[in-house]
Chains A and B, each alone.
Chain A
Amino acid sequence: MNTTSNDDIIICRDVHKWFGSFEALKGIGLTVKTGEVVVIIGPSGSGKSTFIRTLNRLEAHQQGQILIDGIELSHDLRNIQEIRQEVGMVFQSFNLFPHLTVLDNIMLAPLNVRRWPREKAEEIARQWLTRVGIPEQAHKYPGQLSGGQQQRVAIARALAMQPKIMLFDEPTSALDPEMIKEVLDVMRDLAKSGYTIVAVTHEMGFAREAADRIFFFDQGQIVEQGPPTQFFNDPQHERTRMFLSQILRH
């Protein structure tokens, strides 16, 4: 699994993470190729959110190695800064900046981190707003938008930095059912256009349809992985079968 090739954009080797004495990640090893769509599923408390947050060091891992696009994540602030520019992240609770307009939310990082001229930043911001289907909301504030619209702005905000990797941390969990589809549509669109995506989600439809590989986490470990057809139709582990039966039954 850890054989390195040139198009492995994410490489994790034996990643451990403790919160106090609780071990949240117990030696995660996985690689993601450029353009691959990886979906992580698992029961709550299984460490899947913690894991995705270590990929841009919102959580620091304490043992093991994480390489993003050839740069190792360590305490070195410059590396962290550099990696965060290449890794976009979408949160469960959107985390838009409420005091800035939609357009300013999207343009903030391109202007101040990428240091693009304003014209370029605005052009790209508007392109992404159009792509996620809400170009007319550019001058509104986040509080004036619906949850689904806010999450689409958050996706546009992450993409405007032109990252090489997109992380989605349960992007639809805080949404009303009728808004989930509009967000998933955007994610499907991105998956089709060749973005490298790591997504933690409970949307099995999305996983089945868009994922190249699915990882099943339980108690801080990868229990099972595989392409969606195999994963859903022929799970190898008892724990996976139990989880799937529970999640597909309701």
Chain B
Amino acid sequence: MATLTQTLGARSRSAAAEAAGWLQENVFSSPYKLLFLAALAGAALAAYRNQLEAAPTLANLIGALWLMGLIGVAVGALTHRFNAVTQWLKDRLYNSPASVLITLLIGLLLAGLVRAMLAWAVVNANFSADPQIAAASEHIGATWGIIAANLKLFMVGQFDREQVWRVWASVGLLVLLGVVSFPVYGPFRDRLKPVRRIVTWAWLLSPPLLWLLLRGVGEGGFLGVVETRTWGGLLLTLIISVFAIVVSFPLGVLLALGRRSTFQGVPGWLTYLTLGGVAAWGLVTTTFPNWPLVRAPLEYVLILWPVWLLAAGAAFQRVFKGNVVAAFCTVYIEFVRGVPLITVLFMANLMLPLFLPPDISIENVFRAMWGFMFFSAAYLAENVRGGLQSIPRGQYEAAEALGLNTLQQLWFIILPQALRVVIPPIVGQFIGLFKDTSLVAIVGLLDLLNIANAVVAQPDWLGLRREAYVFISVIYYVGCFGLAAAGRWMERRLRVGQY
């Protein structure tokens, strides 16, 4: 009996000594640490008292949970015994004095945040779509009626309400194609080979088909024209971004290949002969006769164009060795990357009509689509070029030695490997593009974001920005998350990095 008490006493004494040692090492070892911990403790206490005022039950609940965890971990530490739960808590949340306090602090902040959000979005919110009822109700939370009442506006903008079935038909078509694609390109790709060909063609034909369905042809009737300037909301956002993504991809790949191409160049003598001839003609016909009339510096620059032409020719020969394709692709890429997207959209909107005959007008939406597409292609080209550069020379040599021609080398060997490498940056770029579509406001189009701005300006729902922005944020998030998920799926399917 005596021995037992002695053992227990010895044990508790050694435990106390251990705890004191631990405190000495982790708390009192330096004044800075002590100061830091004191500040953390102060912050946690302030958060607790703050939360206590707003929602005492929640504050006490969080506090109690935290205390229980702390006690569990402390007991575990003193007895040198952890079960699954206390081990997890010790590793993740309670592994040092600072992290113990930070756990409390973050727990309180998170709980407060979630509580406030729920209070605003659900508990104190009004869901009536009738503006009068919504205005009459005395709620302090969200007024979700603005979304319900304007849902169509958010989705399709001013799209003719009689014709909205065409949007549904388009969505249905795409969903159908998507659903069919899954087995055809996925698990049963070999057995469904004939079907696969049809589905591939359907995908390739779908853009013009959808355009026809949505925009229509002729006056009135079954598929009468729906003016594209009435398009808006999510519909417009999706049309512009999907078009830009799908079309810029092949164009970007071609630009990248073009920039790296090693075609036999135009020989130097031909370049200099041609440009020299043009320059001489220019000097004789424009520069010399007009020289006396020139006043401003800019005019001198302009009138000397034959000289600049020759300089450009020399640069072309020197940098590109006469390779016209590489020169074109490089200049295109560097030019587009050198101007802001807004400028491209402005150009498409203001400059393009100047260059076109007056009886041809291109609709705004169309211009924005192509503007985004050309812009995206330049960035994509550089991403793809990075991928192309990652392919070792031996791959080309092996393909050549087997007798594959250049196109086959690219198609079977180089592109599959290069594109696989650049999936992450390309997905990132497409996500950026998807969000950048709101810049179409510049050219007077109402995409999702700008529809939201228009909606909150309605007298019935004046100033309800938070509700509208939260709603479109969720939509944007779903879109971006979808793109990211698609990218991850492709990486898995193409087995990135696991040879």
Q: Which residues in A have some Cβ–Cβ distance to B below 8 Å? A: 56, 58, 81, 84-85, 87-89, 91, 93, 95-99, 108-109, 112-113, 141-144, 154, 157-158, 161
Docked-complex contact B394 and A95, CB < 8 angstroms? yes
The residue from B395, B401, B413 contacting A89, defined by CB atoms under 8 A apart: B401
State A91–B494 Cα separation when bound (angstroms): 26
- A99 and B416 form a contact (CB under 8 A): yes
Complex contacts, A88 vs chain B, CB 8 Å? 401
The total of Cβ contacts below 8 Å across the A-B interface reads 64
Query: Known contacts being A97-B413, A108-B412, A142-B499, is A113 close to B402, with CB within 8 Å?
Result: yes
In the complex, residue of chain A having the shortest beta-carbon distance to the beta carbon of B499: A143
Most B-side CB within 10 Å, residue of A85, A87, A108, A142: A108
Out of B397, B398, B420, name the residue touching A96 (CB < 8 Å): B398
16 contacts between A and B (CB under 8 A): A56-B400, A56-B401, A81-B403, A84-B403, A85-B403, A91-B394, A93-B394, A95-B397, A97-B395, A97-B413, A99-B499, A108-B404, A109-B403, A112-B404, A112-B412, A142-B499
With a CB–CB cut-off of 8 A, which chain A residues contact B398?
89, 91, 95-97, 154
Residues of B within 8 A of A (CB): 394-395, 397-405, 408, 412-413, 416-417, 420, 494-495, 498-499
12 extra interface residue pairs, beta carbon distance < 8 Å, beyond A98-B499, A112-B408: A58-B400, A81-B403, A81-B405, A84-B403, A88-B401, A95-B397, A97-B417, A99-B495, A99-B499, A112-B404, A142-B499, A161-B402
Bound complex: CA of A93 vs CA of B82, how far in Å? 53
With both chains docked as a complex, state the minimum distance between the C-beta of B264 and any C-beta of chain A, in angstroms. 10
Residue in A89, A99, A109, A141 whose beta carbon sits within 8 Å of that of B404 in the complex: A109
**What residue in chain A is nearest B394 (Cβ atoms)?**
A95
Return B83 CB to nearest CB of chain A, in Å.
41
Q: How would you classify the secondary structure of chain A's contact residues: helix, strand, loop or mixed?
A: mixed
Instruction: Give the residues in chain B near A161, CB-CB below 8 Å.
Output: 402-403
Give the residues in chain A near B499, CB-CB below 8 Å: 98-99, 141-144
Query: In the complex, are the beta carbons of B394 and A84 less than 8 A apart?
Result: no
Q: Is the CB of A58 within 8 A of B402?
A: no
Residues of B near A157 (CB, < 8 A) are 402
Closest Cβ of chain A to B399, distance in Å, is: 8
Q: How far is the CA of A144 from the CA of B499 in the complex (A)?
A: 7
* A142 surroundings in chain B (CB, below 8 A): 499
| Inter-chain contact A84/B400, CB cutoff 8 Å | yes
Complex contact B401–A58 (CB within 8 A):
yes
How long is the Cα–Cα vector from A232 to B226 in the complex, in angstroms?
87
Report which of B395, B397, B403, B494 forms a contact with A113, defined as CB distance below 8 A: B403
Whether the Cβ atoms of A91 and B397 lie closer than 8 Å is yes
Nearest B residue to A167 via CB reads B401
Contacts of A85 in B (CB 8 A): 403
Among A58, A85, A95, A142: residue with most chain B CB under 10 A: A95
Q: Write the nearest CB–CB distance from A249 to chain B, whole angstroms.
A: 33
- A105–B113 alpha-carbon span in the complex (Å): 57
Q: Report the bound CA distance from A89 to B311 in whole Å.
A: 46
Whether the pair A58, B412 counts as a contact (CB closer than 8 A) is: no
Chain B residues within an 8 Å CB radius of A84: 400-403
A181 nearest CB across to chain B (Å): 24
Residue contact A109 to B397, C-beta cutoff 8 Å: no
The answer for the CA separation of A60 and B498 in the assembled complex, in Å, is 36
Residues of B within 8 A of A99 (CB): 416-417, 420, 494-495, 499
Complex CA–CA separation, A114 to B24 (angstroms): 79
Q: Are A98 and B417 interface neighbours, CB within 8 A?
A: yes
Cα–Cα, bound, A16→B436 (Å): 57
For the complex, give the distance between the alpha carbons of A141 and B413 in Å: 14
Residues of A within 8 A of B404 (CB): 108-109, 112-113
- Bound CA–CA A61/B221 (angstroms): 70
Bound form: Cα–Cα A91–B394 in Å: 8
CB neighbours of B403 from chain A (8 A): 81, 84-85, 109, 113, 161
Top 10 nearest A-B pairs by Cβ distance? A143-B499, A95-B398, A109-B402, A95-B394, A89-B401, A84-B403, A85-B403, A113-B403, A98-B499, A99-B416
